[in-house]
A and B are shown apart, each in its own frame.
Chain A
Amino acid sequence: MLRLLATIKKELLVLLRDRGGLAILFVMPIVMIALMALIQDAPFRDYQELKIPLLLVNNDTGVLGETLEDGLKKSKIFVINELSIPESEAKGYIAKSKYEIGIVIPVNASDSFKANVAKFVAHKMGSEDSLGKGLPYTPNRDLYINVYFAPGTKKSFKASIMSSLRQFSSKLSTFTMLDMFIKELGVTQDSADKNKDVMSDFVSFSERDAIESERENFSLNSVQHNVPAWTIFGMFFIVLSMAGSLIKERDDGSYLRLRTMPGSYTTVMAGKITAYLVICLIQCVLMLMVGIYLMPLLGLPKLVIGTNIAAIALIAISCGLAATGSGILVGTIFNTHQQATTFGAVSIVILAALGGIWVPVYIMPDSIRFLAEISPLYWALSAFHEIFISYGTVGSVFPYALKLLLFFVATVGISHVINTTKSYR
């Protein structure tokens, strides 16, 4: 135990006096968290929170323009600016991305709309008469409501907006037709209004969250993604310090001295692992505090970590061990500090990219997404998302912890075999 404690103390002292190493381990992740959370805040909001600026030019004075305007306002996803300007000017605003969407309702659109519906009703009513002949139905094809999109608008977003507008138009047509049929049939207006209410209830849609909880539900925002992501990245950067420490000990003869001392070298390694794990855990706590306290000061949402501290601790420890295991492996395989730091840094960046640290895995192409599964950073990030967003428990994140722990065992085991082979040539 004395040897173990002495090694832990020595390693911590060496680490604390390495200012460059400390900057990499603590300052770099804080900077990355703040920077990436700020940069990615808007893209995350685009999909989840942001209200879309919309320019409405309503040249119609009838029911169509009025109803469409009401519908857009009720949707609550648009910030509507209504202007009475020529269509060419409106188009210019959209082209300059001053607004995301522009809708231009032409003059007398309601009249054209009603005329079309009336023709259709007359045609249908006529087809049911005793002669079996109705008036011919030829809709007025001149009625267009132009919808302009800003340059660079995603196709999926365009499709979603157009689908909503068509659905709205369809519903309005149906109600108008119903009105006309009712008038033709001589039904009272009260009864007609009741029928409209019933129609809208044929099918009901209810918006629910997949995870139901008494707590406030929230989506994956920039902070919820970037804080755990860069915390894990920072923890894995301990590979550089760990590998550097092992190579330095080999270079300066300390490793040989340690191996001539009584007791197992495993105790020395256990001391090293414990010291570096402590640093990883301090990193983790510090970064989560940055998410909770610093992010709101930058105008970003506060990090929500839930209440399952045991699950967080399990993943933090597992992730820290996986990181130190990587450091031992890199420090064992490579003979020079330069080789180890170059490979260590590059490999972490690659594993981070694959693991969804830079951008979430779900927006990656399918051809790359499956590669995330090989990254220990992805396992850790998935576990943190599970805890923070889906209210995961120790049980639900245990598979991730197990993967990380197996990774640690594998890296340390391989290092041991290589080390033994090297030492006893």
Chain B
Amino acid sequence: METRESIKVENLIKIYKGSTAPAVNSISFSVDKGSIFGLLGPNGAGKTTTISILCGLIKPTSGTVHIHGLSLEKKAGEIKKIIGVVPQEIALYPTLTAYENLQYIGNMYGLKGDVLKEKIRHYLDIFGLEKNAKKRVETYSGGMKRRLNLIAGIMHEPKILFLDEPTVGIDVQSRTVITEFLHKMNKQGTTIIYTSHLMEEAENLCSHIAIIDEGHIKISGTPENLIREHSVENIEKLFLKLTGKKLRD
């Protein structure tokens, strides 16, 4: 049955072995198809645990997750075919060229031959890396690596894209290219789940935001509604209002 939600999370709990406090404490939320969902929170709030569960990297202690109507517990293999992940780390092989990296990752998604070549050429062109396609990634600048890291997560054109701080530590030019492309991808129907510490970027990019802290979702809604309802100037002020100024580990 076709559902409106791209992702539906119910009563999700994760308690790591050896720990008594849950990293994620009975959270529930849903992400509509075609939306850009921002999961914001301070360090140790539970963002990465939540994303890791949604990507099938770790198992929840309890609760259910459905992605495109498929149970994550039962249909993880099917779900992996429709998701893309862009990790915060530059998850590339530095001694391989950009082309070789993308060729390998494309092959891992079942892409091959001319289709793969065309996709690699297309995305390298979009992100301004075509001239450096044959250079080893270890020679790239931070911005170039970030752009290539993004291509690696989207070249198979997933229906749902998970991004973990995709623009951290890069220049404004690279950040602009990346956010513009994410907007474009979203307009073409891709659901995006995004985590970041950059509140302004999240406010501009996301159609829906959830602020998570100490394993609980404190609040969720569109950025405009949240700013209006809480009478704050922007999402950053709201974030501090909800999570406080205490330093986190």
Q: Mark B37-60, 1 if CB is under 8 A from A, else 0.
A: 000000000000000000111110
Q: CB-nearest residue of chain B relative to A17?
A: B95
In whole angstroms, how far apart are the Cα atoms of A7 and B104 in the complex? 7
CB-CB under 8 A for A424 and B59, given A6-B108, A13-B96, A14-B93:
yes
In whole angstroms, how far apart are the Cα atoms of A2 and B116 in the complex? 13
Interface status of A258 (Cβ within 8 A of chain B):
yes
In whole angstroms, how far apart are the Cα atoms of A158 and B56 in the complex? 73
Is the Cβ of A261 less than 8 Å from the Cβ of B80?
A: yes
CB-CB under 8 A for A254 and B91, given A2-B112, A260-B55, A423-B57:
yes
Q: Mark B62-104, 1 if CB is under 8 A from A, else 0.
A: 0000000000000001001101010111111101100010011
Q: CB-nearest residue of chain B relative to A267?
A: B108
Interface status of B109 (Cβ within 8 A of chain A):
yes
Interface status of B140 (Cβ within 8 A of chain A):
no
CB-CB under 8 A for A262 and B104, given A253-B89, A253-B91, A423-B58:
no
Residues of A1-42 contacting chain B, CB below 8 A: 2-3, 5-7, 9-10, 13-14, 17-18
In whole angstroms, how far apart are the Cα atoms of A9 and B108 in the complex? 12
Interface status of A259 (Cβ within 8 A of chain B):
yes
Q: Mark B177-200, 1 if CB is under 8 A from A, else 0.
A: 000000000000000000000000
In whole angstroms, how far apart are the Cα atoms of A342 and B15 in the complex? 34
CB-CB under 8 A for A253 and B100, given A6-B108, A17-B95:
no
Is the Cβ of B87 less than 8 Å from the Cβ of A262?
A: no
Interface of B is mostly: loop
Q: Mark B189-229, 1 if CB is under 8 A from A, else 0.
A: 00000000000000000000000000000000000000000
B69 to chain A, nearest CB (A): 18
Is the Cβ of B110 less than 8 Å from the Cβ of A9?
A: no
CB-CB under 8 A for A6 and B107, given A253-B90, A254-B93:
yes
With a CB–CB cut-off of 8 A, which chain A residues contact B107? 2-3, 5-6
Cβ-defined partner of A252 (8 Å) among B17, B56, B89, B153: B89
Cβ-defined partner of A262 (8 Å) among B80, B88, B89: B80
B128 to chain A, nearest CB (A): 22
In whole angstroms, how far apart are the Cα atoms of A2 and B110 in the complex? 7
In whole angstroms, how far apart are the Cα atoms of A7 and B89 in the complex? 21
Is the Cβ of B108 less than 8 Å from the Cβ of A263?
A: yes
Q: CB-nearest residue of chain B relative to A18?
A: B95
Interface status of A256 (Cβ within 8 A of chain B):
yes
Q: CB-nearest residue of chain B relative to A15?
A: B95
Is the Cβ of A252 less than 8 Å from the Cβ of B92?
A: yes
CB-CB under 8 A for A256 and B87, given A262-B80, A423-B57, A424-B58:
yes
With a CB–CB cut-off of 8 A, which chain B residues contact A141? none
With a CB–CB cut-off of 8 A, which chain B residues contact A423? 57-58
Q: CB-nearest residue of chain B relative to A6?
A: B107
Q: Mark A391-402, 1 if CB is under 8 A from B, else 0.
A: 000000000000
Is the Cβ of B93 less than 8 Å from the Cβ of A253?
A: no
With a CB–CB cut-off of 8 A, which chain A residues contact B100? 10, 13
Is the Cβ of B85 less than 8 Å from the Cβ of A256?
A: yes
Cβ-defined partner of B95 (8 Å) among A6, A14, A257, A425: A14
Interface status of B152 (Cβ within 8 A of chain A):
yes
With a CB–CB cut-off of 8 A, which chain A residues contact B153? 257
Residues of A234-272 contacting chain B, CB below 8 A: 251-254, 256-263, 268
Chain A interface (Cβ within 8 Å of chain B)?
2-3, 5-7, 9-10, 13-14, 17-18, 251-254, 256-263, 268, 423-425
A-B contact pairs, 15 of them (CB 8 A): A2-B107, A3-B110, A6-B104, A13-B95, A252-B92, A253-B87, A257-B87, A257-B91, A257-B153, A260-B85, A261-B80, A262-B77, A263-B80, A263-B108, A424-B58
Chain B interface (Cβ within 8 Å of chain A)?
16-17, 55-59, 77, 80-81, 83, 85, 87-93, 95-96, 100, 103-105, 107-110, 112, 136, 152-153
